[in-house]
Amino acid sequence: MKRWTAIGNDPNSFQIKQERIKDLSVARNWELIPDRVEYLKSLASGKKVLDVGVVEHTISAQDADTWLHKNLCKVADYCLGVDILEAEVNSLKSIGFNVVCFDLVKAPLQEDFDLIICGELIEHICNLEGLFSNFKKMLRRNGRILFTTPNPWYINVIVKNIIGQTPFTDNVDHIAWFDPSTLMELGSKFDLRLEKFSGVMVSGANSLQGQAFFSVAPNLIKLGLQPMLFSKTIVYEFVHSPG
């Protein structure tokens, strides 16, 4: 994997930007993922899986049919959940889930995995260096690390920033936005290559206007609009690629 510093020392140079665009174009999946949970299940099937951030903010997440960890456990050969919320982790343990309370920013687990899934979490994390370093230490040969995170170019975010009368606010616990270029760069610092990124199709809108708009999204994409505009979440898939 060649980093941009192998080409030159100016990250704003035309040549370096063109190389980044080429790499992103290779990794981009034009087809939107219809269902995030089903897609992640398909990748976890038959694998040894680590599910990071298993609690998903509150313990009530476990009651939903869309709770990721429960769905991963159905298809993975082995699935371990990890989170830093001790009371919630103990509650999940008490009903039979294989989960541990552990801070992966500080140290890796003494296990390795085929697939590490970090869903809707990195936008909350200050120490990404610790997280990425420890993820890589736990990755098996030919393994894969998946991040899902909000899309800053989602059309709803763009429109609200353009026409809103008050400052746009997403989840107040978020400390960062990531796009394909910034995550490709971040991964490369840890010898992780962004192999693929895919938008997740918005499955439903709260308002009638929103439902009407997203119902015509396929036609708007055919007319030339970027599919990622209609994706609230992006799935990023990394593989270990030593420099």
Judge whether residue 1 has pLDDT over 70.
no
pLDDT above 90 covers a percentage of the chain that reads 74
- Identify the weakest region by mean pLDDT among 48-57, 87-96, 126-135, 212-221: 212-221
Where is 141: in which H helix or E strand? Answer: strand 139-150
> In the structure, what pLDDT confidence band is assigned to residue 215 with cuts at 50, 70 and 90?
confident
Amino acid 62: pLDDT: 86
pLDDT above 70 covers a percentage of the chain that reads 97
SS3 content of the chain, % helix, strand, coil (to 5): 40, 25, 35
Check: CB of residue 184 under 8 Å from CB of residue 20: yes
Burial class (CB in 10 A: 0-12, 13-18, 19+), 239: middle
Amino acid 57: pLDDT: 77
Amino acid 124: pLDDT: 95
Amino acid 195: pLDDT: 97
Write down the pTM of the prediction.
0.93
Amino acid 174: pLDDT: 94
- The stretch 226-234 carries a mean pLDDT of 92
Burial class (CB in 10 A: 0-12, 13-18, 19+), 187: buried
> In the structure, what pLDDT confidence band is assigned to residue 207 with cuts at 50, 70 and 90?
low
Would you state the structure tokens that stand for residue 20, as one six-digit string? 């980044």
Q: How far apart are CA 128 and CA 134, in angstroms?
A: 10
Write out pLDDT tens, residues 21-38. 999 999 999 999 999 999
> In the structure, what pLDDT confidence band is assigned to residue 150 with cuts at 50, 70 and 90?
very high
Q: How far apart are CA 212 and CA 23, in angstroms?
A: 35
> In the structure, what pLDDT confidence band is assigned to residue 63 with cuts at 50, 70 and 90?
confident
Where is 240: in which H helix or E strand? Answer: strand 231-240
Q: How far apart are CA 43 and CA 112, in angstroms?
A: 17
Check: CB of residue 9 under 8 Å from CB of residue 177: no
Judge whether residue 145 has pLDDT over 70.
yes
Q: How far apart are CA 103 and CA 105, in angstroms?
A: 5
118 bridge partner residues: 52, 147
Amino acid 58: pLDDT: 79
Where is 163: in which H helix or E strand? Answer: helix 155-163
Amino acid 78: pLDDT: 98
Three-class secondary structure of residue 174 per DSSP: coil
Check: CB of residue 146 under 8 Å from CB of residue 116: yes
Q: What is the mean pLDDT of the chain?
A: 92
Question: Which stretches of 53-111 are assigned E, i.e. beta strand?
Answer: 78-83, 99-101
Better-scored residue on pLDDT, 221 or 145 = 145
Write out pLDDT tens, residues 64-123. 899 999 999 999 999 999 999 999 999 999 999 999 999 999 999 999 999 999 999 999
